[in-house]
Chain A
Amino acid sequence: MNPRRKKRLTIVASILIGIGAVSGLVLYALSQNIDLFFTPSEITQGKKETGLKPSIGQRIRIGGLVVPGSVKRDPESLKVSFRLSDMTMPIEFKDTDPMVTVYYEGILPDLFREGQGIVANGTLEDHPPTGLSIEASEVLAKHDENYMPAELADKKGQKHEKTKYTEKQLESKGY
């Protein structure tokens, strides 16, 4: 390589390395703030690295899995409530897991199911009976990257039908 090209190569390469380092550091510094949502355990116990905890009344997004059996809906209106727990692999729900209750009034997305990932947007409240909860103004469904035909899902024992509400879940008092 002739010296001029070599010089240009070093200049371009060093600029690229510099930009890479700068953006790497910026992203590292921002890493907590780029998250779209808080998980239920981050709301109750604070973020893992920083211990940062959202305060009551703050507008936040929460993301988690709908705890099976926790969905309660008012038969007279669109009011609905459900509990969210962390997305952990493998998926299992224990009563000791940190959970946050979400209250919402509106139409739920098509993919809303028990055990499904949900992202809700609203204010953090502290309701006495249920503890920390979110008064949501928006509920979005999150789906995973696994796609399969229905027959295969049946074979694997994956539930995929829409939530059916039991009598108890439909009690308007429950909301």
Chain B
Amino acid sequence: MWKWLHPYANPEVSYNFTNKMLPWLAWLAAIFLSIGLVWALLFAPADYQQGHSFRIFYVHVPAASLSMGIYFAMAVAAFSSLVWQLKLADASAAAMAPVGAAFTAIALITGAAWGKPMWGTWWIWDARLTSELILLFLYLGVIALHSAFEDKNLAGKAAGILTLVGVINIPIIKYSVDWWNTLHQGSTVSKLGKPSMSLDMLWPFIFCFIGFSLLVGVIVCLRFRNEILARNSIRPWVRELVQQNTTK
């Protein structure tokens, strides 16, 4: 069933694949982000209560949901690395961690900037905000473990275990607003039934969300490529590649 995936366990095949994907991802990301952000920040209607402050939604929500999505992807990679000992899965987890940490930080910072004018406070220890802060610490722990060991396999194993332990935080973040009383409002877009947003506000959001997801794809591909090269630096195909590039 999974036979088509097998060639990608080879670092060289994966490297060439990311190379081919990168320009596509980059162009699509640029197109979606420029349309989405211009539409969202200049042309989408202002909210009936929050006015223009509401526009931070278009950065805050994609960043927050991607921070969880990247973590989940990292957990899948960690799981397959622990069970099937795929070295490339470790490399991809190491490539994703800092990107996820950056998006978590963006979600927290834009959230604080949104909270001050609307709620009246930068920070409150409610379940949603606290669990998202824990997600940031989990990312930082994973990054630290990846660079704490000389031996990359050992590092991948340690970071993978932490990633898997931390994955329990993802449903907690997602459902915190439903399970407990929080100052943070409930989900607007990702819920069953109709999103609680008018369509002329929702469309720019969809563009922004796809754009930010593609941007994550671009950055992760770039970092994954570097990880592959760094981890296989003694292999003949990497040496050949370096020689080709230096003689050019």
Q: Which residues of A contact B (CB under 8 A)?
A: 5, 8-9, 12, 15-16, 19-20, 23, 27, 31, 34-37, 39, 63, 109-111, 113, 119, 138-154, 158, 160
Contacts and interface: CB of A to CB of B under 8 A. Distances in A.
A77 to B, nearest CB: 19
B72 interface: no
Given A111-B50, A141-B119, A158-B48, A147 B180 contact: no
Contact of B165 (A19, A119, A138, A149): A19
Contacts of A34: 127, 179-180
Given A144-B186, A150-B45, A151-B45, 6 more contacts: A12-B164, A140-B121, A145-B185, A147-B201, A148-B197, A149-B201
B54 A147 contact: yes
A139 B183 CA distance: 12
B79 A147 contact: no
B180 A35 contact: yes
Contact of B185 (A12, A36, A113, A143): A143
Contact of A148 (B120, B124, B198): B198
A160 B121 CA distance: 21
A145 B202 CA distance: 13
Interface string B159-181: 00000110110001000000111
B118 A150 contact: no
B118 A111 contact: yes
B234 interface: no
Contacts of B126: 36
The 3 lowest CB-CB distance pairs between A and B, nearest first, are A149-B45, A109-B120, A153-B48
Given A109-B120, A143-B118, A149-B198, A36 B82 contact: no
Given A8-B82, A147-B54, A111 B49 contact: yes
24 contacts: A31-B179, A31-B180, A35-B180, A63-B183, A109-B118, A109-B119, A109-B120, A138-B121, A140-B183, A141-B119, A141-B120, A142-B119, A143-B49, A144-B186, A145-B187, A147-B50, A148-B47, A148-B198, A148-B201, A152-B48, A153-B48, A154-B48, A158-B48, A160-B49
B110 interface: no
Interface in B94-110: none
Contacts of B201: 147-149
A12 B196 contact: no
Interface in B116-131: 117-121, 124-127
A147 B179 contact: no
**Which of under 10, 10 to 19, 20 to 34, or 35 or more describes the interface residues of B?**
35 or more
Contact of A36 (B83, B181, B196, B200): B181
A16 B180 contact: no
Interface string B135-172: 00000000000000000000000000000110110001
B50 to A, nearest CB: 7
A149 to B, nearest CB: 3
B164 A160 contact: no
Contacts of A139: 120
Given A36-B182, A146-B196, A20 B124 contact: no
Contact of A35 (B172, B181, B186): B181
Contacts of B188: 145-147
A37 B126 CA distance: 9
A15 B48 contact: no
Residue of A63, A110, A152 most packed against chain B (CB within 10 A): A110
B4 interface: no
B57 interface: yes
A19 B30 CA distance: 40
Contacts of A148: 47-48, 197-198, 201
A1 B55 CA distance: 50
A37 B83 contact: no
A5 B180 contact: no
